[in-house]
Homo-oligomer: A and B are copies of this chain.
Amino acid sequence: MEQATSEGTLNREQLHELAQQLRVDSVRAAAAANSGHPTSSMSAADLMAVLYAKYLRYDFSAPENPANDHVVFSKGHASPLLYALYKAVGAIDDEELLSFRKFGSRMEGHPTPELPWVDVATGSLGQGLPIAVGIALAGAKLERADFRVWTLCGDSELAEGSMWEAFEHAGYAGLSNLIAIVDVNRLGQRGPTMHEWDTSSLAARVAACGWDVQEIDGHDIEAIDAAYARALETDRPAAIFARTKKGAGVAAVEDKENAHGKPLGDAEEAIEELGGERSLSVSVKAPSEAPPYEIDRADVERPAYELGEKVATRGAYGDALAWLGSVDERVVALDGEVGNSTYAERFAAKHPDRFFEMYIAEQQMVAAAVGLQVRGWKPFASSFGAFLSRAYDFVRMAAISDADLKLCGSHVGVSIGEDGPSQMALEDIASLRAVLGSVVLYPCDPNQTVQLLDAMRQHRGISYLRTTRGATPTLYEPGESFEVGGSRTLRSSDDDAVTLIGAGITLHESLSAADQLAESGVVARVIDLYSVKPVDADTLLKAAAETRALVTVEDHWPEGGIGETVAGVLAGAGASTPLTRLAVSGRPGSGPPADLLAAAGIDSDSIVAAVEKLDLG
């Protein structure tokens, strides 16, 4: 190992040498794996060499240090470059570098937080920059810290609208701590990008968003150096469009098509062309100390609702969120310009400093939440449940990032009424259950909502709360306990013939159906399955054993919701109690909620009719 250089002292030639080493190590890692993206790494090697050697402030021995800068590889497929940097700074050794993409190695195909220096998983393009906006928001708006967020972007990913949500929001918020370095290597996966090296259109748009924009030669060390220096000076977010060559440094692949995402044909020759292996090490600048900061905290009482009081669970969400803001100063809230519908505005009214209006940009909203939790904040992001589907890929990736992300979707199901199907979340349970490690909660009353939202606050991971537009009666006492993974049996006796299982709006319909059935002598057990994932299998199997039929009722499509959750439990246990699943199966229209619930076959009359068809003898 050559002598470690001290910070900031590398001259131009040394920086070039470091960049060549990063290229060589990228080529070697991909060769060892026989897969990966060396050419996408080689284009950005000069950019990253200068960043790590001269500008980054980061203590690799203490990645948890809050004063550290952040580096986000939005072009996550350039992972060989990132890992080559980790080797150059001494965070990993050569052996680990060469474990790239091998089973069990932390050197995964795309970076994940399995590595302590990686904040979030990337690899789905267009996500790194919006997440970086969230990290930068934490620094600029909450912590008043001076860390910087350096983001390496690809040019292909500028086709993703989410990138433009990020440019827009960062400009709007004036995030001078955010630097986007765009590696304009002209070539996407299958051929040239839309703009190739003509960065004028992109630069004009980013400038119009309020950024400081530079266009440079991304292989010119001095130009890179000057660009970073200017980026630190500006009081706006800084974008650097760096024109580069994919595969730079190796003639066989440099600026060539059909060289994406594969190892070089002749790695040995390429390494020789790059000047051979090197073992330069880099001292990265130490961060200064993170400044102390205070969070404004208004006192808000825990909301409590009287039995029988009619309150929409979305309203209780707003009340509970405002309360949680007083309980826990790490709680922050994000809104997708519907805060007066989700009632996130009630949090904003009490804790304006911790409220982020993200406008109608659900991808940026969820991405910002992911960025905020990188800094230890507990973000609650809400919109109509239907519109959270816009950010599904971001939630998927947040799970791979092991993010602590709390989502709330309001206006679920046909019960919203007149607004019609475009506004109705009818797939949210299915899609959000199918997220690694997620929790899906669906309260039926305001006191339960308060309790479950607090459970979400305390739960680390991805959780989702489903709220209802219309007011429903309060069924539970304030402070009654509801746990993730629990359920509540509201009606139960030794004479139960059938079990009705609902949650949210359909729990009320189930109770009403039970009343009607009782009049005709059929005794029904009623279960409030408020925790759809994880689910209380014991209670369901007990009901299967003790009653002669089960009926699930849900304001959701039949697929992947409450009915299939229950079916999975029953089939897993080999329970022979037949299950009838009532769910929304046709296209709903507009109309009063009661008419739509009836038309969908999920109101109390439909439940009664379904039970009457059963053989309960």
Contacts and interface: CB of A to CB of B under 8 A. Distances in A.
Given A160-B165, A386-B124, A110 B423 contact: yes
Contact of A361 (B161, B168, B421): B161
A492 interface: no
Interface residues of A, number: 117
B190 A339 contact: yes
B430 A33 contact: no
B557 A567 contact: no
Given A161-B161, A161-B364, A590 B105 contact: yes
A554 B156 CA distance: 33
Contact of A390 (B165, B208, B392, B581): B392
Interface in A155-170: 156-157, 159-165, 168
A165 B161 contact: yes
A12 interface: no
Interface string A141-180: 0000000000000001101111111001000100000000
Contacts of A566: 571
A36 interface: yes
A422 interface: yes
A92 interface: no
Interface in A190-231: 190, 193-194, 200-202, 204-205, 208-210
A156 B431 contact: no
A59 interface: no
A420 B564 contact: no
Contacts of A533: 559
A579 B590 contact: no
- Stoichiometry, copies per complex: 2
A427 B434 contact: yes
A389 B393 contact: yes
Contacts of A201: 208-210
A232 interface: no
Contacts of A159: 165, 168, 337, 359-361
Interface string A86-110: 0000000000000001111101111
Contact of A418 (B101, B112, B163, B397): B101
B420 A427 contact: no
A586 B386 CA distance: 27
A35 B363 contact: no
A589 B108 contact: yes
A479 to B, nearest CB: 31
A603 to B, nearest CB: 13
Contacts of A168: 159, 194
A364 B160 CA distance: 9
Interface string A102-129: 1111011110101000000111111000
Interface stretch (A17-25, A282-290, A523-531, A591-599): A591-599
A427 B418 contact: no
A291 interface: no
B578 A572 contact: yes
A161 B161 CA distance: 4
A194 B590 contact: no
B567 A572 contact: yes
Interface in A33-82: 33, 35-36, 76
10 contacts: A108-B590, A124-B386, A188-B359, A190-B339, A204-B205, A205-B208, A205-B209, A430-B430, A571-B579, A575-B576
- Which 7 pairs between the two chains have the least Cβ-Cβ distance? A161-B161, A123-B422, A103-B591, A574-B578, A560-B560, A576-B576, A430-B434
